[in-house]
Structure 1
Amino acid sequence: MSQGSSSDEELDFKVVSSTNYQRVQEKVEKISYADGVADGRERVFQTSFDQGYADGLKVGLELAKFSSFFDTLAATGTKDDEKLLKEKDAYKELRLAKATEKQHFKYLDHQNEPLNVVSGKQDTYIDDLLGQCAASLPITANLFVSRDSSVNLF
């Protein structure tokens, strides 16, 4: 009888061990899955943040150049350069929104598209806007052009 109860105990032990192993395995899978999801999100969020930051910085810097230049021109009361005064009036006619306005950020219009597509649309938008500024404000736009062709901030 002792031999029969011994094999029953071994069988019980194997069943309990197997059940415990399966529970531990399931917990490890869940934790590993959650860690993987968190790591993936972190990488995507960081990449998205980095790209959005670069796009926003480009928009802000480029548009702020024009507004700051014409604000400074108005503050100094320059009346000597008629061409710049005409460009100041042309700048006012462009009615550009402040650099922080939502209309300058295309990610709001394309939230369901991949980051690289939205960033491309953002680049196209700012390039078109800067082209419009260059066409309307050639003297001022020329002041902002880097003479060193190897410099590329963006």
Structure 2
Amino acid sequence: MSQDNSSDDETDFRAVNIANYERIQKKVAKINYADGIADGREQVFQYSFDQGYADGFRTGLELAKLQAFYDTLKAASIDENLAKENENFQRFKLAKPTDKTHFKYLEHQSEPLSVVSEKQKEYVDDLLERCVQSLKITTNLFKAK
């Protein structure tokens, strides 16, 4: 009788061990899945942030340079050519560098980041090209030599 009991106990013990092992495996799989999702999300968010930051920084910097230059010229006595360029710049009627109208992500929210970034680059490049055409002296001052 004691041998039958020990055989049943071993069978029960194995069944419990197998059940516990499967339960632990399921929990570990769920935790690893959640960790994988979180890591993937974090990588995507970081890349998106980095790209958006670079695009926004370039846009703000380029616009702020021109805005600050012409704001400084208002207080200074300037030659006739720079005065004409100042008038040309004022005709652009650009919003402040941080204004949302300069940032194309609002117009392309449903599109991939690469498309939004390209649209932002095109916007800034086009704006800078218009500045080069109208503000030759000023933009020449900002060129690296």
Name the amino acid aligned to 2:89.
Y
Residue 17 (structure 1) shift? 0.8
C-alpha displacement at 1:111, in angstroms? 2.0
SS in structure 1 opposite 2:95? coil
Matches of 2:81 and 2:76, distance apart in 1: 16
Q: Pick one of 84, 87, 91 that aligns with 1:93.
A: 91
Which structure 1 residue ranges, 4+ long, deviate > 6 Å from structure 2?
none
Q: Distance in 2 between matches of 1:75 and 1:140?
A: 16
What percentage of aligned pairs have identical amino acids? 61
Q: Separation in 2 of the partners of 1:102 and 1:7?
A: 76
What is the CA–CA distance in structure 1 between the aligned matches of 2:25 and 2:9, rounded to whole Å? 24
Letter in 2 for 1:16: V
- Following the alignment from structure 2 to structure 1, what is the Cα–Cα distance between the partners of residues 15 and 81? 91
* Gap regions ≥5 residues in structure 1: 148-154
- Kindly indicate which of the two structures has a greater share of residues assigned to helix: 2
Who is 2:135 aligned against?
137
- What TM-score, normalized to structure 1? 0.88
* TM-score, normalization by structure 2: 0.93
CA distance in 1 between partners of 2:110 and 2:82 (Å) = 43
Query: What do you get for the CA RMSD once the two structures are aligned?
Result: 1.2
**Gap regions ≥5 residues in structure 2:** none
Return the letter of the residue paired with 1:114: P
